[in-house]
Structure 1
């Protein structure tokens, strides 16, 4: 029975269709009963279900709204444009970098060795020495010698970097930060982006000093100033070239080499190019020995060398140096204590620079020397001169004292002084009231003015040379002459009076005009012209009788030199200031003295007699204000028509001096004659010149007193041989000297 129920047995198909109930127990439970027990099977244990990981809740994104198609369009356009700009920028930058690289490489190949760049002056320098071989003036482009960043004072080097380019040792020749800052400042100040502050690095400034490698060519520029202006143009194209040149320098040279070029080529005022020249010019010492205060002063000149030069305005230069010292402190080059000390004790000029003496004198020597060794020299030249700084100072102070104490405030009147030795060696020259000048109009040499009665000594010199004597008589009375083509001419005395028969000495010491004309006509007008010319008055002399009254024009230097001829015994004099000219570093002079005593004009006897007559002009006549205690003074006053010019020229046994006073525009002086303010200027200057000197008498003859009527000889007893000899000598030499 069991077999019949086994599936798969041989049961027929009909049987299989009839489904029989399974062999299970009957349902014994209701629906609420528990589930039937399943038959246990051997199966794999299911793994425990994983505990779900709790994730951090994230804010739900807002549901995207559909974009406005117009906004989307323009957004896409903007993104496209930005991508285009970026593409253009990086490609352009790449091209520009390649071009700049090629340009820098090319410029690099053209740069010379650094030693060839240290002295780039277009002309040489002229150093002027006084009679004691001390420097008193400089002219031309002064260059004291090559310095390097290693040999100059550390303080100067620090001051230059602190002032001009504090990032000098960190950039590659161009500072984008500096350029951007400069553009911002220029725009904020209402200027163009490239106008005013340039943002140039020290390397760029050096490139500019080198004019980007373009050398001066006289055929390309009308003047050197035009060349310099062209080198300093501030256009955009010029700035680009400057930057390329600067970067090429950074590749070719070291930083210290670039700084060395800058320190040698920069203009530092007063005609000084380079640190060594400036150091010698202002402080009289090498650039290696500069203190922080001195280094700061020189570094301060780099922005405005002419106006900030200490010789032009010491106070302004010191104020600028104080600012430089503060910058050095900010950048760690100086401590607070050092900065305070040097700001409290600023740099001062050397004695020679402080004196700044002989500006007119130096200009005169430069103009009188050979042009190729003075004004247009390409060499460094040393000129030894006759200038005496003590006498120069005395002349300047004497003129200044009179104008401060005797001339009304605000007067535009001018004056000039020349002091020289009897051989024509000029010791001092003042060409105007402003004594600390250079290149100014020199009234002592360049002004040609009527001489007035200052010419009369040459009239009397001619008469004395032709046989007249100091006590010869001439009649002072109304006098007229007929001049062909001009009619009648009647000279008058300054006082308007007539004095009758007077001696030549009286006529000269009172500056009488009528006697002077008569003496000139008697001696020969042409002879007077010859004597005056031989004494050194080279100006055209009047042809008429007014020659005797100083109608001709002459310079103060000529007139003073002519008076020196009277003092030295009657020989002509050529005023000179140059003693020796040599090249720097050479011992042999290329040329020597260019003046001195020349040929004799009048005899020594005539000259000594004239000196005696001119001494009376001062001791008893119109030149009384020129008297000096203890000294014999000879001279002559001069006042021209309408008092347009006033002169006093005179001398002691030691020196000759001439003074001129007047207006540059020929305006008449008010209440001034040659015997007034000019004589006082002469005295104030010469008193200072002769200070601490022992008085010596003039080389004048001494007239013997008139002999009393001769008495009958009486026999002399016991007079001895000495008495006999003295008596014979008196008889022989008792006449006129």
Structure 2
């Protein structure tokens, strides 16, 4: 069949595409009409409020962007002006108002620092990378990415301050390293002694936290960023930061605490140094090493978290915390250093603007010996809660002070020094000056003197009758027996016989500078003196009878100079008593230790001489003595003059002296004392024991003394 006459149906596939007619029909299809709704009309009051708010917003916005624009221009001009006035960067490196004092011991080793120590300029290029990283990780992790201010840091600090109940600007400051540098250089204002009463007042003014000060600080910080590079700013910061112990800058701190340059510190040492920035005094390792190491652990953690330390480096640094150098760890001679600084020329010590080097007489071995001796006796023989104090001075016969301990806390600075500041009654430790006067006037140690009841009439006070310690009398005794058993009555008799003025003059010429008593109680040590004075006076006896001025400074010079500005050759002065008299007195004082009250001070391998002393009501206990090599004095008592319980000069002070001198003389060859045993009396002696031949002072002693007093016959 043929289908030629039939119309073929369209293919199904063609229906995929709509025809034009269909498109037209679709296009022409009317849209449904929207239902007309009646617009709601707002309340007139609401419209008024909205209109007012929009008006206020337009006003504030229009005013605000104009003010912001003007403020930005003013700030930019201020920053530009300040930047133009900034000096070359190297003028900011060392801004100390005071200089430094470095003290060397007798061997030439550094043992103490005072003033503002500046070790020299370090730069970002020369400092240890660990130190640089520790500073940035701790103080300002975004240092290389901000423009001097850190809005994020400021916002965080404000939030923390508010959460801790403080004002928004009190406590955490959110300061960048640049802002801290601006503070360190005090916004470019130098120290003026006419404007500020002290450097401390100047620094306090630089750190004030008023809003206006914060604004000026922000402008100055941005000016620093505009003028200098980041590395320049970091260099100023590293050289100006105060890091405790008198150290200004990280170079001085590295030398102060670790005995090395800041270029050589390892991660754990760098962490200690960077940790000081938050609180230099509190975290100074010389004040509390454990606390400083704990702070360093936090710094190491920050360095690790910020990628400055690998896991291995961090673990090694944590496992091996930094240790102080030997000089910093010992901190020997704190009291000694304070004394040298206080008595030295002020222009080169307390008020120096130069860097000064002082060579001293301190022997650190002897200093350690004295500290250990005191510690051992107190730990073994003094109850733990006792507030009793003690002091020790060790010196050579020429007055060179080798060690000084001013109290039970030995490694301190700025404390009350009982060796140099405490004036205490000397008790029987004063008696050698009574015997020195008598011997120099012709008496012999073997002369007899009465130990019987004896009374003296004191004008205005009535009759005074001295008693011996045991309240017993022994009758006639030799001078040496009277001294070695510390009898009071013979000492008073001898002082009266020699003349109180002569005794006083001998004591003063030997170096007792304190006011001495006028009455006969002078002979029993009723006057006050310092331990340093007494030790110096005993040194005069040892050296053969010449006066001694205790000294601790050998030489003073400026840093970098070879010629000294000041030097001390010796402390020996004018002769006070004859050498023979001094030698006989030493013999008598040797008997004090070998046969008398000073038995506990006896040394096992060498001769020693000394004297015990206990003041009225046992408020002070002394032992003073010497060998052929060193003189040492020990005082013990309470700061408030509370009487000692069961302690006299022959007890704990003698034991402290013994322990000190045993340690001092370790490995030293034994040398004999320069003493002279007196010639036994002959048949020509008078009944009371006075010699027929009195040498320089024959005849009636008292009449001769009246003629001699005031004349220089020493």
TM, length-normalised to structure 1: 0.88
- Over 3 Å counting, the alpha-carbon distance change for 1:180 and 1:612 in structure 2 is same
**Would you say 1:681 and 2:681 are equivalent positions?**
no
- Where in structure 2 are the equivalents of 1:604-615 lying within 5 Å? 604-615=579-590
Alpha-carbon distance in structure 2 between the residues aligned to 1:411 and 1:239: 51
- Number of residue pairs aligned between Structure 1 and Structure 2: 663
CA contact (8 A) 1:617 1:624 kept: yes
- Over 3 Å counting, the alpha-carbon distance change for 1:60 and 1:221 in structure 2 is farther
Cα shift readout 1:221-250 (whole Å, capped 9, x = no counterpart) = 222222211111111111111000000000
Match of residue 78 from structure 1: 53
Match of residue 657 from structure 1: 632
Alpha-carbon distance in structure 2 between the residues aligned to 1:55 and 1:259: 78
**Would you say 1:52 and 2:26 are equivalent positions?**
yes
Instruction: Choose the corresponding residue for 1:698, options 673, 683, 689.
Output: 673
Match of residue 68 from structure 1: 42
Alpha-carbon distance in structure 1 between the residues aligned to 2:276 and 2:179: 18
Instruction: Choose the corresponding residue for 1:243, options 218, 223, 228.
Output: 218
**Would you say 1:413 and 2:414 are equivalent positions?**
no
Match of residue 368 from structure 1: 343
CA contact (8 A) 1:517 1:545 kept: yes
Instruction: Choose the corresponding residue for 2:619, options 628, 644, 655.
Output: 644
CA contact (8 A) 2:452 2:489 kept: yes
CA deviation after TM superposition for structure 1 residue 51, in Å: 5.3
Match of residue 34 from structure 1: none
Cα shift readout 1:295-349 (whole Å, capped 9, x = no counterpart) = 1100000010001000000000000001000000111100111111101101010
Secondary structure (helix, strand or coil) at the match of 2:393 reads: strand
Alpha-carbon distance in structure 2 between the residues aligned to 1:507 and 1:62: 134
Alpha-carbon distance in structure 2 between the residues aligned to 1:54 and 1:168: 69
Alpha-carbon distance in structure 1 between the residues aligned to 2:619 and 2:84: 67
Alpha-carbon distance in structure 1 between the residues aligned to 2:622 and 2:369: 19
CA deviation after TM superposition for structure 1 residue 147, in Å: 1.0
Match of residue 555 from structure 2: 580
CA deviation after TM superposition for structure 1 residue 463, in Å: 0.8
Match of residue 420 from structure 2: 445
Match of residue 285 from structure 2: 310
CA deviation after TM superposition for structure 1 residue 73, in Å: 2.9
Match of residue 24 from structure 1: none
Please provide the CA RMSD for this pair: 2.0
Match of residue 167 from structure 1: 142
- Over 3 Å counting, the alpha-carbon distance change for 1:48 and 1:568 in structure 2 is closer
- Over 3 Å counting, the alpha-carbon distance change for 1:476 and 1:172 in structure 2 is same
Runs of 4+ deviating beyond 6 Å:
46-49, 54-62, 704-708
Cα shift readout 1:559-610 (whole Å, capped 9, x = no counterpart) = 0011011111111111111000000011110110175111211112111111
Secondary structure (helix, strand or coil) at the match of 1:169 reads: helix
CA deviation after TM superposition for structure 1 residue 179, in Å: 0.6
- Over 3 Å counting, the alpha-carbon distance change for 1:471 and 1:170 in structure 2 is same
Instruction: Choose the corresponding residue for 1:558, options 533, 539, 563.
Output: 533
Alpha-carbon distance in structure 1 between the residues aligned to 2:138 and 2:527: 59
Match of residue 352 from structure 2: 377
**Would you say 1:538 and 2:519 are equivalent positions?**
no
- Over 3 Å counting, the alpha-carbon distance change for 1:100 and 1:620 in structure 2 is same
Cα shift readout 1:670-726 (whole Å, capped 9, x = no counterpart) = 111111111111111111111122222211124567899xxxxxxxxxxxxxxxxxx
Match of residue 473 from structure 1: 448
Alpha-carbon distance in structure 1 between the residues aligned to 2:492 and 2:51: 109
Alpha-carbon distance in structure 1 between the residues aligned to 2:607 and 2:407: 28
Cα shift readout 1:407-456 (whole Å, capped 9, x = no counterpart) = 11111111100000111110000011111111111110111111110010
CA contact (8 A) 1:414 1:432 kept: yes
- Where in structure 2 are the equivalents of 1:282-297 lying within 5 Å? 282-297=257-272
Secondary structure (helix, strand or coil) at the match of 1:249 reads: helix
Show structure 1 runs of 5+ residues with no match: 1-45, 709-737
**Would you say 1:106 and 2:94 are equivalent positions?**
no
Match of residue 567 from structure 1: 542
Match of residue 517 from structure 1: 492
- Where in structure 2 are the equivalents of 1:147-296 lying within 5 Å? 147-296=122-271
Secondary structure (helix, strand or coil) at the match of 2:127 reads: coil
- Over 3 Å counting, the alpha-carbon distance change for 1:48 and 1:530 in structure 2 is closer
CA contact (8 A) 1:452 1:549 kept: yes
**Would you say 1:353 and 2:312 are equivalent positions?**
no
Alpha-carbon distance in structure 2 between the residues aligned to 1:684 and 1:61: 114
- Over 3 Å counting, the alpha-carbon distance change for 1:678 and 1:59 in structure 2 is farther
CA contact (8 A) 1:473 1:502 kept: yes
Match of residue 15 from structure 2: none
CA contact (8 A) 2:184 2:241 kept: yes
TM, length-normalised to structure 2: 0.90
Instruction: Choose the corresponding residue for 1:423, options 398, 401, 405.
Output: 398
CA deviation after TM superposition for structure 1 residue 380, in Å: 0.3
- Over 3 Å counting, the alpha-carbon distance change for 1:178 and 1:415 in structure 2 is same
Match of residue 26 from structure 1: none
Moved more, 374-383 or 629-638: 629-638
**Would you say 1:145 and 2:120 are equivalent positions?**
yes
Match of residue 599 from structure 2: 624
- Over 3 Å counting, the alpha-carbon distance change for 1:93 and 1:571 in structure 2 is same
CA contact (8 A) 1:575 1:595 kept: no
Of structures 1 and 2, the larger Rg is shown by 1
**Would you say 1:491 and 2:469 are equivalent positions?**
no
Match of residue 723 from structure 1: none
Alpha-carbon distance in structure 2 between the residues aligned to 1:60 and 1:561: 118
Alpha-carbon distance in structure 2 between the residues aligned to 1:377 and 1:64: 92
Alpha-carbon distance in structure 2 between the residues aligned to 1:558 and 1:545: 21
Alpha-carbon distance in structure 1 between the residues aligned to 2:286 and 2:601: 34
- Over 3 Å counting, the alpha-carbon distance change for 1:65 and 1:639 in structure 2 is same
Match of residue 365 from structure 2: 390
CA deviation after TM superposition for structure 1 residue 486, in Å: 1.6
CA contact (8 A) 2:492 2:523 kept: yes
Alpha-carbon distance in structure 1 between the residues aligned to 2:387 and 2:556: 38
Alpha-carbon distance in structure 2 between the residues aligned to 1:475 and 1:424: 36
Match of residue 568 from structure 2: 593
CA deviation after TM superposition for structure 1 residue 382, in Å: 0.2
CA deviation after TM superposition for structure 1 residue 80, in Å: 2.4
CA contact (8 A) 1:642 1:668 kept: yes
CA contact (8 A) 1:300 1:320 kept: yes
